[in-house]
Every structure is written in structure tokens, then in C-alpha cells.
Structure 1
Amino acid sequence: MPPTTGHTVNTDSTTPTEPTRPPEPAEPADLAGLSGLLDLARSQGPLFGSDEPSGAQIRQRLIDTLGVWTEPAPPEAQEVAAWTRDGVTGVELEWDTGVGPPARGRLLRPAGETGPLPGAVVLHCHGGVKYIGKEKVADGPDPAPPAIRRIWDDLYGGRAVADDLARRGYTVLAHDAFGWGSRRIPVTAMPARTRAVAELQLAQAEAHARRAGREVSETERYDAHAGPHEDAMAKLLGVLGTSWGGMVAREDLIAVDLLARRADVRDGGVAVLGLSGGGARAALLTALSDQVRAAAVLCMMAAFEEILDGFVHTHTWMMMNPGIGRVADWPGIAAAAAPRPLLVGYGERDALFPVAGMRAAHEHIAARYEQAGAASAYRGVFLDAPHAFVPELQARVWEFLDQTMR
């Protein structure tokens, strides 16, 4: 069945049909060789929100399950650089998270604007690239190099989306998530098994690079290590009582607080938005923080039931945290703060999520907002698009933010 009329924008035709998309993965299936696992899991207690938890229950379950550690006192940010370019005034900020090197973020505003503006945190994606973080969405003092522009072209419609939002009249913060950019883990600190796996991958990459007449870049070398290191880091964090998702959420909450407390941001909370892994971060933030006024979750939404077999292995530990299925379904997490304004963007050619799971998620969220008496506060936008924040989706998100944040 097509998504519920009134909650969905479909640009193909007036009568939505099943989208054209790559075949959904059959192998490797995550449940292969484990017949009975799902039934046994269900016998142990509520799974995927079957007990219909409230928003408050979802928040507490997230804190407990992900291990979201609290801050004794919010850190203060220091300005380390400033620039004005292409209609945007930018400031590089740095703050201490209490773990590892300081976090960095780019604060962007319209050039020449002096008064307080609506605030928005733009959350970068995972994208298999951890050498950089904030640069995926925010430009800097100098023109972006080709490698970053390729990421913009592939995933963000060729745009530095945080800068575009700033030009529209927002104070925007884009920061490095735990494990990315300024918060990345040095290769020298990674275990030997991680380095061994990475060296095998790099040997192949170097052979391909030689045939192409080039060298493997520093970014490629780092990211060859960062991929397999996710498993090792997830193990360490789990022993300590937290998780990839818990650490990322903790530092995202710090960033939201930093932005919301600024004098150049209007009172009343900030917006959060992100693509893919950034969308998972936005969903968690809106469930966890009262300082989030509106959220846009982009190309990161499907019901667990449809994701479970054949799609779990395609996603990061940051999204597939141990025990998260006992918290709620992903659409339940995204809708936990209903009636707070929420936009979810679905790409019907997104090979990382099954269409059936997207439809189920949309219906779940729409029903939750109906129950909250705020059906119009949720917008489910279905587009004939791949796994990317394409220009048409950008236009929908900017319209949504202008209507909810001003």
C-alpha cells in the first residue's frame, strides 16, 4: 500500500507505484544458519516496541541500553579560527569532551548578520569515511579540495549543506562525531588485528592505485583502518558500559547544548538534521533532548522487522547498537518526542534499506503522531532517489525548517 495521504510527498505521479530500485540483498542474510533466533528473542520479552513504550520510556531505555553517560558540567567552546567567504561567516570552535583530543565544530552564520537566529545542528553521515567529519557538510576558510567535493557530489547534491542553511538565516553548528575528524582514533592506538586486516585491504588498494597512476591517499589509508576498528572499539565500549551509539549521542548532546546556550541563537531550542548515520544521530537526539525543537531524519529509517534479515550487516555499530531492539523500533525512537515537528526523508532507490521497511516505518510514525493529536507535525517525504540528500529533498527540508523554526 502507498504511504498515508497527507503525510507523504511522492514526486513520481499522483498514484504512487512500487519504485524502481536495485534488488534487495539476499546474501549474506544476517539470520542465515540461525533458524529460531528471532522467535527465541521474542520469547524473552518485548521486542521492537511491541509493548508500545511511551516517549519517556524510550528515552530512559536509550540512556540505559546505549550507556549515554552524563556530563558533570557542560564544556565551554573556544574560538580557534574565523573567516568570511561566499556569504557565510564561519568560526572554528573547539571544546573538551573529557575523552581524547578536543572536539571541533564549524559555526556558520549569514555574513553581516549580528542578531540571534534560529539554531540548527547539521550532523554528518558515516559514509565509510572517518578521516573527516564536519567537512562532509560544512565548508571552511578555503575552497574544499576535490576529495571533499566528491563526497558532496555523491551524497549531498554537490552542496555544503550547512553553509546553504546558514545563508538562509540560521546559526548552524557542524561538528565531528566521536570517532571522526578531530575525534578520530590514531592508527597507532588501534589493535594489531585491526592493522593486519587494514594492511590486506591497503595492499589491494595500492595495486589498483598503481594501475591508475596514483598513490593511495592519507585519507584512504586511515579509513582502511577505521572500518575494521569499529568492531574493536564496540567491544571496548561495551565492556565499559557504553557503546558507539552511546558515545556519539553523548557528544551530540554536548554540541546541541553548546549551540542552544549561545547568545546568537534564538531561545526555544534548536533543529537537528542529518543524512544516513547523521539521520540516526538526529533520531537519537530528538528522543533524548528537550533542547531539540524539530528534527529531520534523512535516508535512515525503516522498521527493524524488515531490516533484520539481510540489512543489519550493511550498517554501522553506531546505528545497530546491542540491545536497541529492546528499546523500541527505529520509527518509535524517531517519533518518541511527538508532537515535536519531524520530517523523515525516504529514498525509494536507497539500497541500504528495504522499501517495505520504509513503508512500515512511515505508517508507525504517522500513527504515533495521530495518537498525539498532531498528524500535521510529521512529514514523510518519499522520493525517487538513492541514498543521498538530493536537491529536491534539501528543498523539502529547508521549507520544513523555515516553517517550524521561525
Structure 2
Amino acid sequence: MPSDPPTARDGAAAPSDPAGGPRRLRHLGEFSALAGIAAAQRGLFPRPGPGLRERARDALGVLDLTAADVRTERTWTAGALRGEEVSWDVGFGPRTRAYVLRPREAGGAVLPGVLALHCHAGMKWAGKEKIADGPEGHSPEVAGLRAALYGGRAWAGELALRGFTVLVPDALGWGSRRVPLADMPENVRGRPEPGLGEAGRYDAAAARHEHVLAKYCTVLGTSYAGVVAGEDLAAAAYLRARPDTGPVGCAGLSGGGLRAALLGAFDPDTAAVAVVAMVSSYRDLLDGYVAGHTWMLYPPGLSRLCDLPDLVACAAPRPLLVWYGEHDAILPLSGMRRAHTMITAHYRQAQADYTGVFADAGHEFGLAAQERVFGWLARYVRADGGGPWR
């Protein structure tokens, strides 16, 4: 069961802290002294001053994108849900496709909105389908992922049933925004492997191609995080503009949690932000945790402005919930504790509402976490000043 988080001092030395302690870091080995030299010479992880949001937005190269030429592709009903697939053009690549989910009986009532952000999870063939069902249902691969990460539930649809307009868009590299194999370098797309289906082949190639995307983004003066954040900002603006939707919050697990954190940092119109199993200090990630994450987590230059929890706390004064899994295999507990302490300090200074939940859980958004987040969103994201539609 969730519990009150343990305490830790901001700036306390940790095995991965470049400021002190044993310097042999996993995955750097004999080169571990690089961390201390870089920290001393480049001034890493400083306490941020005023204007962090603007400086971080510039460092990430967040693009100003618009969901243009919105089209309704199809509609359906499934049980108590009404679904709509919409698409839009952000100016490059194939059209973004997204699901809009609402309670079937809501009609045209104005509901609070939530931008539900799909995870990374090494699965890029599917995007929105990982957390929401279209009219065709879901694939066996998606069923396996949901069982491992989401308690077997398509959580975006379940959230919609609680009285929300839920928008679930694909992001660059996933689903409708996949990079065709033919456009990848030959050594990246690889050769067909026996028994590996179309989805599996794409996921294997996309994992290698993410390095290529990150390089292009850097050369173009942006970052993978900056492009995806630009897409999510456009999606949030579209959702707020719908006549059936009021204030809009956001939520996501892992890579989706990072997307939620970035949206909260850069979009002052986001009503509330829920980040699940994603937040740690960069300092603690250095000890063997860097390799397990997407390039979206490592925009060049950000660590010279702040540590990651400082950026997450830029959501203030909007309400923020961060869910920490105490047994998360790809995030260190020391880093989560440090993050919680840092965010608490920022929110206390802003006199704003921050909820940090430490749970006996791993890297997942299970049913207990979902219920906690759903209730929290119902409290902080309200249509017309009242509670959620029932």
C-alpha cells in the first residue's frame, strides 16, 4: 500500500553524486572520474534561479507546434464509452492520430479533460493503443505490456468512464508517427529475423533509430524531448479548444510520465500534472541507471541549468502528483528520495499542492496507483468549477 515517503536531505552525498563518495560508477568503471571532472568544470545540477522554465525551454529547444487541419476519422461506441479517432498535422511527418474517449451518456456535456500520455517501454509499433482501445481492440503484444505495466487495464478508457474527456495521442516515433523502416539506415533497420513479426521487427529497429533521431534533433538545435514536448503542447491546446472539454490535466507512466512532467513545466494552462514512475535526480541515475532510459530524458544542456526534479517542480503553482515505486528496477530509490525532497521544497516555497506517494511497487502503473491518480485528478481537474461529471 502507498505510504508517506521517507525523507532525505537535498544535496546529500550518494554513491552516484559527483560531489563526493566512491567514484566507481556502474557502466563507466575505470572512466568514472569523468563524472567528477565534468561536474566541477561545467557546474552541473546548480540550484536554479528565476526564469528556469524559460531557460529550460530554450535548452530543450521546445518547438512551437500546432494541431492543424483536425479531422474526425471515425467514431464508435463500446459499452459505456464513446470513442472518436481524430488526426491532425503538426507540420512534419505523417498525421498524428489520437483517440478521444468520453462516457457514452455524457452527450455534449462539458467534462474536465486529461491528456493521457503513452509510455515508451521499448514498444514503438503501438503508441496510444498501449493505454486505450480503439474499435478493433488490442493486439497480443499490447495485452502483454498492459499485464506487465498497467494491471491489465486500458487505463485511459477507465479514466474516461470516471467523467473525463481523455485524449490519447501518438508521439514522434510511435504508432501513427512511426518512422518507416525504409527511411532508416540499413544498419539500423537490420535484417528480418525468423519468428519476429512486423511489430517486433519495427520495435527492434526503432530502438536503434532513436539514437539517430536524437542526433538529428541535436544538430537541428532542438532535442528529442523538445520535439515530443512540442507535439504534446499542441495536443493539449487542441483538447482545451474542444467545446465539450473544460480544464485539462495530464498523466502518464515512465516515458509518458516524463512527457507529463515536461507538459507541466512548459504549459501554464495545464490544470494538474500526475507523473508515475519517472522522477529521480540525475545525480543518482549516474550509477548504472542511465542506459535504461530514452533519449527524451537526456536533453543536452539541461543538467547545467538544474537537476531533473527542479524542472518537474516548474509545474508549480499547479497541483502535482508524483508516484514513486520503491522497487523500481530502472530508477534508484536514493534518486527518488532526493527528488521528493527537492520538489517538496519548491512547492512549499510556492505554497502549492504537491503529493508525493512512495508505494511498495516497481516500474508500473498498477490498479492501486491508477485509482489514486484518478481520484486525485477528479479533485484537481474540474469542469465549470464543480466536480467531475457523473
2:310 matches 1:310: no
Whole-Å separation in 2 of the counterparts to 1:262 and 1:85: 22
Whole-Å separation in 1 of the counterparts to 2:224 and 2:90: 15
Whole-Å separation in 2 of the counterparts to 1:78 and 1:63: 30
Q: Deviations over 1:225-279 (max 9, x none)?
A: 001111111111211111111111110111011101110111xx31010000000
Whole-Å separation in 1 of the counterparts to 2:27 and 2:265: 28
2:302 matches 1:324: yes
Relative to structure 1, the CA distance from residue 190 to residue 27 in structure 2 (aligned partners, 3 Å threshold; closer, same or farther) is farther
Task: Give the Å deviation of 1:15.
Answer: 9.5
2:343 matches 1:346: no
Counterpart for residue 212 of structure 1:
none
2:47 matches 1:51: yes
Relative to structure 1, the CA distance from residue 404 to residue 193 in structure 2 (aligned partners, 3 Å threshold; closer, same or farther) is same
Counterpart for residue 268 of structure 2:
290
Secondary structure at the counterpart of residue 313 of structure 1: coil
Pairwise mapping of residues 157-236 of structure 1 onto structure 2 (< 5 A)? 157-195=151-189, 198-199=190-191, 203=193, 206=194, 215-236=195-216
Counterpart for residue 382 of structure 1:
358
**Which shows bigger deviation, 181-190 or 313-322?**
313-322
Consecutive aligned runs of 4 or more in structure 1 exceeding 4 Å deviation: 24-28
Task: Give the Å deviation of 1:62.
Answer: 2.4
Q: Which amino acid aligns with 1:295?
A: V
1:58–1:287 CA contact under 8 A, matched in 2:
no
Secondary structure at the counterpart of residue 312 of structure 1: coil
1:53–1:328 CA contact under 8 A, matched in 2:
no
Counterpart for residue 388 of structure 2:
none
Q: Which amino acid aligns with 1:136?
A: K
2:238 matches 1:255: no
Task: Give the Å deviation of 1:337.
Answer: 2.3
CA-atom RMSD, angstroms? 2.2
1:338–1:372 CA contact under 8 A, matched in 2:
yes
Q: Deviations over 1:124-165 (max 9, x none)?
A: 000000011000111111232322221211111111111011
Whole-Å separation in 1 of the counterparts to 2:237 and 2:296: 21
Q: How many percent identity over aligned positions?
A: 45
Whole-Å separation in 2 of the counterparts to 1:90 and 1:291: 25
1:76–1:258 CA contact under 8 A, matched in 2:
no
Task: Give the Å deviation of 1:371.
Answer: 1.1
1:69–1:250 CA contact under 8 A, matched in 2:
yes
How many residues end up aligned between the 2 structures? 368
**Which shows bigger deviation, 29-38 or 87-96?**
29-38
1:27–1:310 CA contact under 8 A, matched in 2:
no
Task: Give the Å deviation of 1:51.
Answer: 3.0
Q: Which amino acid aligns with 2:92?
A: V
Counterpart for residue 264 of structure 1:
244
Structure 2, unaligned runs of 5 or more: 8-14, 17-22, 383-390
Secondary structure at the counterpart of residue 296 of structure 2: coil
Whole-Å separation in 2 of the counterparts to 1:74 and 1:280: 21
2:38 matches 1:41: yes
Counterpart for residue 28 of structure 2:
31
* Alignment match of 1:117 (pick from 105, 111, 120): 111
Relative to structure 1, the CA distance from residue 44 to residue 75 in structure 2 (aligned partners, 3 Å threshold; closer, same or farther) is farther
2:67–2:88 CA contact under 8 A, matched in 1:
no
2:2–2:360 CA contact under 8 A, matched in 1:
no
Structure 1, unaligned runs of 5 or more: 1-7, 17-23, 207-214
